[in-house]
Amino acid sequence: MRVWRVGSISMGAALVILGMMLLLTQIFDWDAAYVMSGWWPFILVILGGEMLFYLFFTKQENARVKYDLLSIIFAAVIGTAGIGLTVLQATGMLGAVKSYMTAEERTMEIPAFTQSMGKDIKRIVVDTGNHDLTIEGGTGDEISLFGTYRSTFTDQKNKLSSPDDYLQQKIIGDSLYITLKGLPAASAPFENGGVMNATLVVPSKAGLEVSGNSAAITMKPRQLLSNWSVTDSSDVKVMLSEGSDIHLLAENITDIKDDEKWKFDKAGEADAAEEIYSEDEGRSGSYTVGDGTYDLVVRNAFGLSVVESR
């Protein structure tokens, strides 16, 4: 005589439902991970219903429930996996893993920033944050910043919708303060803010003070008509155009390229070939192009190089 054991129907029904759900994910392009984390409570319903059905319809007195151990274990494994997926979904880890698997590195344009300098603004103060920056002198009255950034993307949306997402500006008196902020990044462990490659154009007639924060700075002053300075950068590259009238001053620079073109500070009346040099303090000197009417000062940098256009 065949013996009915509780669990056999549950295992069969679980396999049927699981197969149907997986088939539907293929037909309707559903998210398989979310389907798998949501269907498993049916196993508890079917197993509980089978136990009640057995107890209600058995004709034996003092009936005892008989279980199919292998089927119960199988149903428990599937249920445990479903509970685990549900926990991962509730904590956001399932979405984070999915984002990591579909993430890609892409380069996007940053929203361009434009600000009229106005007659009252005489000085521009720039804090580059942790971004490398190219600064170029312009002939107009507008301050502009444009460029690209490279980051990890988990969707097709641009992380930067406006200049306010990466830049802060404030006018105090005759000075315009510009601060570059860190690029936005999700809290997911697999995503980073990215790297920005931007160019800032400022009027050549305005004074400029740049705080590099150990970033690399490229200076293209062109026809400079005011005094500029760069402080606390890792490497500074100065590109001088033909007809420049600049007195380039280096203060506390660890490594100055092509130093034979420089005039270094000397101790008192020492020989012209003798220069002040200290590993702790760095090197200081000057480099003059044209009459040297306007100063471009570079302070506290690791490297400094000059490129002259011919």
pLDDT along the chain (310 residues), means of 10: 61 76 75 66 75 68 65 75 72 66 79 88 93 92 92 73 91 93 68 79 94 92 93 93 90 86 61 42 87 93 87
Instruction: Tell me the CB-side half-sphere exposure of residue 52, using CA atoms within 13 A.
Output: 6
Question: What pLDDT, on the 0 to 100 scale, is given for residue 309?
Answer: 77
Question: What pLDDT, on the 0 to 100 scale, is given for residue 187?
Answer: 57
Question: What pLDDT, on the 0 to 100 scale, is given for residue 302?
Answer: 92
Question: What pLDDT, on the 0 to 100 scale, is given for residue 53?
Answer: 74
- Please state the pTM of the whole predicted model: 0.67
Angle in degrees, CA 19, 21, 23, rounded to 5 = 70
Taking the CA atoms of 91, 92, 97 and 98 in sequence, report the sign of the dihedral they define.
Answer: positive
- SS3 for the chain is CCCCCECHHHHHHHHHHHHHHHHHHHHHCCCHHHHHHHHCHHHHHHHHHHHHHHHHHCCCCCCCCCECHHHHHHHHHHHHHHHHHHHHHHHCHHHHHHHHHHCEEEEEECCCEEEECCCCCCEEEEECCCCCEEEEEECCCEEEEEEEEEEEECCCCCCCCCHHHCEEEEEECCEEEEEECCCCCCCCCCCCCCEEEEEEEEECCCEEEEECCCCCEEEECCCCCCCEEEECCCEEEEEECCCCCEEEEEEEEEEECCHHHCEECCCCCCCCCCCCEECCCEEEEEEEECCCCEEEEEEEEEEEEEEECC
Question: What pLDDT, on the 0 to 100 scale, is given for residue 58?
Answer: 66
Q: What Å distances lie between residue 99 and 61, 96, 184, CA to CA?
A: 57, 5, 16
Question: What pLDDT, on the 0 to 100 scale, is given for residue 27?
Answer: 81
Amino acid at 12: G
